[in-house]
Structure 1
């Protein structure tokens, strides 16, 4: 039921689309299908079901706030701590998350509300995007 829905919600960093269906998000955003989405998870326990965090970076991932980590396999994850966003994620456990706009375009509220199946209010303003780190076995590289 909820797995195929696209939610428009205030995420921990910006107003965005949240869904467990990557194909629907790709279709809505008109984005190249080979690009990965950030997978938002509700806890470190859920994160451990998807990937193994390199030993050198376990403390960094556990303590991070509003940070996205690209793992050595190329997939990216963000552990959500924001209480408003966690209300939805605790029901889903994990979801793909992306900004609520067409690929490469600025945010358009009318487009976002038409494209979403469910709108979770309140929608506040856009905030600073998350910091993105690429984790290697021994290295750390800041992407954004």
Structure 2
């Protein structure tokens, strides 16, 4: 599986369906999971995620928001670039495009990525997604 460097719906990200490659690039502990980004809400549900009924509309309509349900982090994000590679895949693991604890460094990312997708606006580091932990009873904002 390839590692893709691209502008995500939030910031510059590394995407792949191989979480081991992303762990290696980021020098990240295997115990720390990656966010799984789905191309639409239907795909999220088809993957086996159990979403509390009272939050389904909130998740379906959310923008730039990551949710944690039963220790599984996910986000629904429309493909913002006209890239067939991203459109053909129903999900990717996602992480910010940087070394752990550092800011975006284009040279580092270009060296590590197999595929680079960017448009005329180029790649720019923006704020990360909001993060909520939800269960059947409550929703807690983490960032």
Same fold (TM over 0.5): yes
Aligned length, in residue pairs: 140
Whether 1:81 aligns to 2:78 is yes
1:52 aligned to 2:56? Answer: no
Alignment partners' CA distance in 1, 2:71 and 2:26: 21
Q: Please name the residue that 1:14 is paired with.
A: 11
Deviation at 1:83, TM superposition (A): 2.3
Q: Deviations along 1:75-99, whole A, 9 cap, x unmatched?
A: 1111003522775432111000001
Is 1:139 matched with 2:132? no
Cα distance, 1:106–1:86 mapped onto 2, change above 3 Å:
same
1:113 aligns with 2:110: yes
Residue 125 (1) aligns with residue 137 (2): no
Distance (whole Å) between structure 1 residues aligned to residue 59 and residue 86 of structure 2: 18
Shift of the 113–9 alpha-carbon distance from structure 1 to 2, 3 Å rule, reads same
Structure 1 residue ranges without an equivalent (≥5)? none
1:27 aligns with 2:14: no
Post-superposition CA distance 1:48-107 (Å, at most 9, x none): 022011011111111111100101x20111100352277543211100000111111221
Instruction: Identify unmatched segments of 5+ residues in structure 2.
Output: none
CA distance in 1 between counterparts of 2:27 and 2:58 reads 34
Q: What TM-score do you get using the length of structure 1 for normalisation? A: 0.91
- What TM-score, normalized to structure 2? 0.92
CA RMSD of aligned residues (A): 1.5
Change beyond 3 A, Cα 1:63–1:86? farther
2:92 is matched with which residue? 95
